[in-house]
Amino acid sequence: MLKLENVQSGYGNILAVKGISLEVNKGEIITLIGANGAGKSTTLLTISGIVSCRAGRILLHDEEIHTLGTDEIVKRGICQVPEGRHIFPELTVQENLDMGAFMRNDTKQIKADLDYVFSLFPILEERKNQDGGTLSGGEQQMLAVSRALMAQPKLLLLDEPSMGLAPLIIKQIFEIIRKINEESNTTIFLVEQNANQALQIADRGYVIENGKITITGSAESLLNNQDVQKAYLGL
């Protein structure tokens, strides 16, 4: 479905992603794990077209998307929950969700999707008239995921959904991610520092170090890989 071929990107003089190739197949949960500054977030931002792709190609269903604007990429079904959640602080919860559905015009289906995300996270329905900025960290993460779902993504990019959250909430968020993948067959590309949690739900994984993919394989093989265990699982 999504294919990166030797992608390079970065900021100013700094090259953060130094030639990455990876592939995400339809229906999979793929995780990209790595330390701080390894280039995980930059990879995601490059896929969404926020950071420009300097070399290599990004293909979605064999169509080159790295030359498109972000809104065109979103239109093709790639949605991102960026690191730090990025809730619109002075829009209400409801308005934040409306913005998620910005590209859509099918009012009826939007309403049904709204009910669906409220069923996933009932707390959001209770708070729907509250400003996004007043929510707690966990609630904001729920809102960020819900907002992305309102776009009916074919491919959902998640950037560190566990960051700064209590273990119980992390567990809940990961359960929901798995549920979204199973119920609506949404393909998921998950970037995490929390390698253990991520590999638990993923089908396959890539390890990124210094802007390059160093190890790849099934989630199970990565969990048993000694290097991965030492560097990312703390075993």
Q: Which two tokens stand for residue 43?
A: 């990879």
Q: How far is the CB of 40 from another protein (least distance, A)?
A: 16
Nearer to another protein by C-beta: 191 or 228? 191
Q: How far is the CB of 88 from another protein (least distance, A)?
A: 5
Nearer to another protein by C-beta: 164 or 218? 164
Residues near another protein (CB under 8 A) are: 48, 50, 69-71, 74-75, 79-80, 82, 84, 86-91, 95, 98-100, 102-103, 133, 137, 140, 147, 151, 164
Nearer to another protein by C-beta: 54 or 75? 75
Nearer to another protein by C-beta: 69 or 167? 69
Cα(34)–Cα(40) distance, integer angstroms: 7
Q: How far is the CB of 212 from another protein (least distance, A)?
A: 25
H and E: helices and strands count for the chain: 10, 10
Angle at 138 between CA 159 and CA 71, to 5 degrees: 40
Instruction: Calculate the CA dihedral of residues 7, 10, 15, 16 and round it to 10 degrees.
Output: -80
Nearer to another protein by C-beta: 46 or 213? 46
Name the phi and psi angles at 211, rounded to 5.
80, 10
Nearer to another protein by C-beta: 45 or 223? 45
- Tell which residue, 12, 22, 62, has the closest CA to residue 204: 22
Strand order in the sheet with 63-64: 14-24, 2-11, 53-60, 63-64
Contact between 116 and 149 (Cβ < 8 Å): yes
Helix %, strand %, coil % of the chain (to 5): 40, 30, 30
Q: How far is the CB of 226 from another protein (least distance, A)?
A: 35
Long-range pairs for 169-175 at CB < 8 Å and ≥24 separation? 169/138, 169/141, 170/194, 170/197, 173/138, 173/141, 173/142, 173/145, 174/200, 174/201
Q: How far is the CB of 131 from another protein (least distance, A)?
A: 10
Q: How far is the CB of 35 from another protein (least distance, A)?
A: 20
Q: How far is the CB of 71 from another protein (least distance, A)?
A: 5
Nearer to another protein by C-beta: 50 or 215? 50
